Amino acid sequence: MHTDPQPETGGDDDTSQPGPGQLELRVMSSLDELTAAAWNGLGGERRNPFLSWQFLEGLERTGCVAPERGWVPCHLTAWRGEDLVAAAPAYVKGDEMGDFSRDWGFGHALQQLGGSLYPKLVIGVPFSPVSGQRFLHARDLPLEHAVAALCALAQEVCRQNGLARFQVLYCSPAEAEILTRLGLAPRALIQYHWHNRGYATSDDWLAGLKSKRRTQARRERREPELQGVRIRTVRGAELAERADHWAGIAHGLYRTTCDKYMWGGAYLNRAFFDHLFTALPENVELVVAERAGEPPIAGAINVSSDTHLYGRYWGCHEELRFLHFNVCLYHSIDDCIARGLQVFEGGAGGEHKISRGFEPEIVHGAHWFSDRRVHALLRDALRRDEVAQIARVEAWKTENRS
């Protein structure tokens, strides 16, 4: 359909955006309807590898993302003639499994209002609660125009298919501001990220911790040597030369975590791990813990950009004291310092990370509800919650950086 990208948000504080000219808005049922060059060629601010065509298309091609798995691809795109000028990965879902939306807090309240959470349209990256850009756009199309156009399309998808809402997950702060101006209900969650303050060595970083935490970190960091375990990162040529071998090890470790917890779903299959290790060789690496001459006993996948490191998919075959902290946190902090990476996102949740040098950070999202009454009520409630979450983080930073 053709539209002037002015979304109807249902709010009383909508801000009109100047239109960039006629755009043709289309929904794509699969990323293989688009080329990697067209998708990856869209510019904008820094984005992480999880938003690349290779990562997202691989999820679909290997069957991890598919209607029978609860994910119906419904990618939002905007075109000028034959040129793709804006896009966002989107999926219709009937539940919250695998999207890390953390909607339980207001789900009960919504039911009390007579509303429903599902089905919904999710703009985000499956199985990946990593923050960053969610709306890709051509360099001659301002971000606010791209967001407005694709939100208009998302609303139309909801209306035509009877969806209760659409939500944007883990978007950038700039996108969150635009979405709020467009009348969407903002959502603020807290994650824990490590920041590189220009450390030259790991000792520089440790010296900046409070005495109690510094003593704790040093004690925990000594454990692998006492256990006869070496932790290292497999990357580059070593990974490429035996990609199939390392993909098998990574998948086996991932399954140990999925099988250990009754709520842990095995969202990713072996085929996707094979794809990941060959399709993104410059971004994907494997941290392994091993004893001499033995297969790895634990590990985690890291995905890197020029500035960030993202920790994913921990698993272990053997439980050892502090092994998780060393594989998933300390080793990668050391790696960020050595490589000059600015931020390490170690995954969703985990207040235990604070005592190991991580800081609480706000991560952003937004909601639009098809029911205008529900939208108005929940928008106000989520705005109040956002203010409270931001105040909580700022108070922590004031207390711990003073």
Query: How does pLDDT run across 381-401, given as a tens digit for each residue?
Result: 899 999 999 999 999 999 886
Q: Which helix (H) or strand (E) holds 240?
A: helix 236-241
> What would the two tokens of residue 37 be?
């060059």
pLDDT tops 80 at residue 158: yes
**Tell me, what DSSP letter sits at residue 281?**
T
Residues 13 and 124 occupy one common structural domain: yes
pLDDT grade for 110, boundaries at 50, 70 and 90: confident
DSSP per-residue letters across 309-360: EEEEEEEESS--TTHHHIIIIIHHHHHHHHHT--EEE--S--GGGGGGT-EE
Distance between CA atoms of 400 and 18, rounded to whole angstroms? 43
Residues 91 and 117 occupy one common structural domain: yes
What confidence score (pLDDT) does residue 45 get? 54
Are 178 and 171 within 8 A, CB to CB? no
Residues 19 and 149 occupy one common structural domain: yes
Least confident of 196-210, 253-267, 357-371: 253-267
Residues 95 and 213 occupy one common structural domain: no
> What CATH number is associated with residue 105?
3.40.630.30
> E strands of 40-119, at which residues?
72-73, 75-80, 83-88, 90-93
The answer to whether residue 333 is domain-embedded is yes
Between the CA of residue 161 and those of 5, 118, 370, what are the distances in Å? 20, 12, 11
End-to-end CA distance of the chain: 55
Strands 284-290 and 136-137: unpaired
The answer to whether residue 300 is domain-embedded is yes
Residues 167 and 206 occupy one common structural domain: no
Residues 185 and 114 occupy one common structural domain: yes
pTM: 0.91
What confidence score (pLDDT) does residue 10 get? 40
The answer to whether residue 357 is domain-embedded is no
Segment 46-89, tens digit of pLDDT: 568 999 999 999 999 999 999 999 999 999 999 999 999 999 99
Which amino acid type is present at position 297? Answer: I
The answer to whether residue 235 is domain-embedded is yes
Residues 218 and 184 occupy one common structural domain: no
- Averaged pLDDT score across all residues of the chain: 90
What confidence score (pLDDT) does residue 9 get? 39
Phi and psi torsions of 252, nearest 5°: -60, -40
* Domain extent for 293: 197-341
Phi and psi torsions of 18, nearest 5°: -65, 130
Residues 255 and 379 occupy one common structural domain: no
Segment 225-237, tens digit of pLDDT: 999 999 999 999 9
Q: What is the mean pLDDT of residues 213-239?
A: 97
265 Cβ contact list (under 8 Å, min separation 6)? 97, 98, 258
How many separate domains does the chain show? Answer: 2
Least confident of 100-114, 138-152, 154-168, 345-359: 100-114
Segment 14-55, tens digit of pLDDT: 433 434 458 999 999 999 999 999 999 997 555 689 999 999
Residues 48 and 180 occupy one common structural domain: yes
The answer to whether residue 353 is domain-embedded is no
The answer to whether residue 367 is domain-embedded is yes
What confidence score (pLDDT) does residue 44 get? 58
The answer to whether residue 95 is domain-embedded is yes
Phi and psi torsions of 229, nearest 5°: -115, 135
> What would the two tokens of residue 315 be?
């698993």
Residues 51 and 185 occupy one common structural domain: yes
Are 5 and 182 within 8 A, CB to CB? no
The answer to whether residue 354 is domain-embedded is no
Residues 201 and 326 occupy one common structural domain: yes
Segment 306-345, tens digit of pLDDT: 999 999 999 999 999 999 999 999 999 999 999 999 999 9
Residues 98 and 216 occupy one common structural domain: no
Radius of gyration of the chain (CA): 22
What confidence score (pLDDT) does residue 310 get? 97
High-pLDDT (> 70) share of the chain, %: 92
Segment 257-300, tens digit of pLDDT: 888 865 557 899 999 999 999 999 999 999 999 999 999 999 99
Q: What is the mean pLDDT of residues 174-197?
A: 96
